[in-house]
Homo-oligomer: A and B are copies of this chain.
């Protein structure tokens, strides 16, 4: 049994993490923390959680950050970029596992890219040398090694950088093609549509109901922070430098990302069934990736509130271009659920523990 803490528990990612960890069978204690609402009960802010607390180890009262770190073996942070290094350092000092949901640790030793997109250098570059990018389908062994390190001669911090929501959907959709050399790596285009929870908790003009209902709004076409992350992961997957085109769109739905990715087929005349089978074989053992049968198209509807990533592989009418649709719930597989999956792997638990919820049909 594990003691977990969530720092930033009142943000959307933190709140979803809190909800899911409350149902995790291996979590004995859960400490929630919030800088803005210390001392309050989380259910005063999230009344959906009323009645979920009170049992031993789960008070629901928002603690401060240092108490949260002090009491937990696994610390999650769902804060805006720029706050994770300090928490990572505290966790490292204490020997606990740190799973960060921000962008702070996603670029590893590539500080230049982080600085370009996040506007500041690393304060503690040494923390970034051993952190692991927590896309389980790509890095399961490394994530597991973090956990095993614990009981051995660990030198250095144990940090998992939980992937961004767009990068999770986008890169899982392209991984089989890149790894299997089915795709030309030039000219990859990712047209992604996200629900509004992806914008977080803060009300803004673009998330104001009358402005965002009934509307598809592309944004940050010239460059979104998730682009360099996507390109870094795609490059790893392909074994060569990939520079994709990535266009995010805000769609009038609460949850979900649907990424429609386009690439030219490396092999002339490849048939859709062959492509689909390659995808199905590639993900055969993955507990949370479902490759759809011919005729079906992935959509966020079928994965909402679950940790699944649904993928459907198609070939366009031109016969040359693959169209891959990948769909996730941005708050689960794209955030809180993936973080729990990472914890499960690192701790050697059943990878599906706490993540067995089936997506509702409606």
Contact A23 B249 (CB under 8 A): no
Chain B nearest CB from A326 CB (Å) reads 11
Contact flags (1/0) for A323-335 with B, using CB distance below 8 Å?
1010000010000
Residues of B within 8 A of A300 (CB): 214-216
Contact A23 B356 (CB under 8 A): yes
Max chain B Cβ within 10 angstroms of own Cβ: one of A52, A216, A254: A216
Contact B50 A214 (CB under 8 A): no
Q: Chain copies in the assembly?
A: 4
Contact A214 B19 (CB under 8 A): no
Residues of B within 8 A of A268 (CB): none
Q: Which of A135-143, A217-225, A340-348 contacts B (4 or more CB under 8 A)?
A: A217-225
Q: Which of B50, B214, B356 contacts A304 (CB 8 A)?
A: B214
Chain B nearest CB from A288 CB (Å) reads 9
Contact B362 A255 (CB under 8 A): yes
Tell me which residues from 187 to 236 in chain A have a Cβ below 8 Å from any Cβ of chain B.
Answer: 187, 189, 191, 193, 195-197, 201, 203-205, 207-219, 221-223, 227
Contact A255 B221 (CB under 8 A): no
Residues of B within 8 A of A92 (CB): none
**Chain A residues bordering chain B, tally (CB within 8 A):** 89
- Known: A214-B253, A318-B245. Is A358-B49 also a contact (CB below 8 A)? yes
A360 within 8 A of B: yes
A305 within 8 A of B: yes
Chain B nearest CB from A155 CB (Å) reads 37
A256 within 8 A of B: yes
Contact A211 B47 (CB under 8 A): no
A89 within 8 A of B: no
Residues of B within 8 A of A362 (CB): 12, 197, 210-211, 254-255, 331
A residues near B (Cβ < 8 Å) are: 12, 15-16, 19, 22-23, 46-52, 187, 189, 191, 193, 195-197, 201, 203-205, 207-219, 221-223, 227, 243-247, 249, 251-256, 258, 260, 262, 264, 272, 290, 292, 296-306, 308, 310, 314-318, 321, 323, 325, 331, 356-362
Chain B nearest CB from A169 CB (Å) reads 12
Contact B218 A325 (CB under 8 A): yes
Chain B nearest CB from A99 CB (Å) reads 20
Q: Could you show 18 A-B contacts with beta carbons less than 8 Å apart?
A: A46-B361, A47-B292, A47-B302, A48-B361, A191-B260, A195-B214, A213-B213, A216-B258, A216-B300, A217-B297, A217-B299, A218-B260, A218-B325, A219-B297, A249-B258, A251-B251, A252-B253, A305-B305
Q: How far is the CA of A119 from the CA of B358 in the complex (A)?
A: 38
- Known: A19-B358, A210-B196, A210-B207. Is A262-B290 also a contact (CB below 8 A)? no
Chain B nearest CB from A183 CB (Å) reads 14
Q: Which of B47, B247, B321, B357 contacts A23 (CB 8 A)?
A: B357
Q: Which of B195, B216, B317 contacts A256 (CB 8 A)?
A: B216
Residues of B within 8 A of A196 (CB): 209-210, 213
Q: How far is the CA of A230 from the CA of B287 in the complex (A)?
A: 41
Query: Whose C-beta in chain B lies nearest to the C-beta of A207?
Result: B209
Q: How far is the CA of A321 from the CA of B262 in the complex (A)?
A: 13
Q: How far is the CA of A61 from the CA of B52 in the complex (A)?
A: 36
Q: How far is the CA of A19 from the CA of B301 in the complex (A)?
A: 15
Contact A16 B361 (CB under 8 A): yes
Q: Which of B23, B215, B358 contacts A358 (CB 8 A)?
A: B23
